[in-house]
Copies of this chain bind each other. A is one copy, B any other.
Amino acid sequence: MASALERSKALFIRRWGEMGGYWGISRTMAELHALMYTSAEPLCTDDIMEQLQISRGNTSMSLRQLVDWGLVARAHRRGDRKAYFACETDVWEMFQCIATERKRREVQPIVETIRRCREMVEQELENLGPEETETAQVYLRRLDAMQSFLNAILELLTLTLRGGGDGLSMLAALLTQLNEPPTAK
């Protein structure tokens, strides 16, 4: 019978994997991450294969992605040719890695697309009938709103992340202050 510690880890790994799915990360990659997060020691490929029951190829590919995201680092042991892997264990650093990458990969492109979309319509704006102009205006206003929103989020993340590891927790404290005084209005 597996120890309580092992069963506890297994549960955490399973749940973390599930969650990955909801956020556009493959279940296995998330499980791999969880496994490393729960492990006190760096792990080698074979450890991972055995614990998660996945193939060598899958392990190699998933590890590479985690390293690309900056969530996992390669490590080596003296007199051992195998590569070992260790997870970033500071949760705020972890969050920063993810936020930075998603910003770059997903938010930036849509901001750029919105800019282009706006441009396309602006050029045509003069040659439209009155009703079409109205429709176009609504559309442009919506694009602008979305653009501002995304820029605000980008700025918020940039500023929060720049502020070092505990930026967000500081922020939360700050918000509490902001939210409480107004009750005395």
Contacts and interface: CB of A to CB of B under 8 A. Distances in A.
Interface stretch (A44-52, A64-72, A78-86, A107-115): A107-115
Contact of A153 (B15, B116, B124, B168): B168
B172 A8 contact: no
Nearest to A128: B5
A116 B12 CA distance: 9
A53 interface: no
A11 B7 CA distance: 48
Interface string A6-49: 01110110011001011110000000000001101000000000
A142 interface: yes
A109 B15 contact: yes
Interface residues of A, number: 67
Interface string A165-183: 0001101101110110000
A55 to B, nearest CB: 25
Nearest to A171: B156
16 contacts: A4-B121, A4-B124, A8-B118, A8-B139, A9-B139, A12-B143, A19-B109, A22-B102, A40-B134, A40-B138, A148-B169, A152-B169, A152-B172, A155-B175, A156-B168, A156-B172
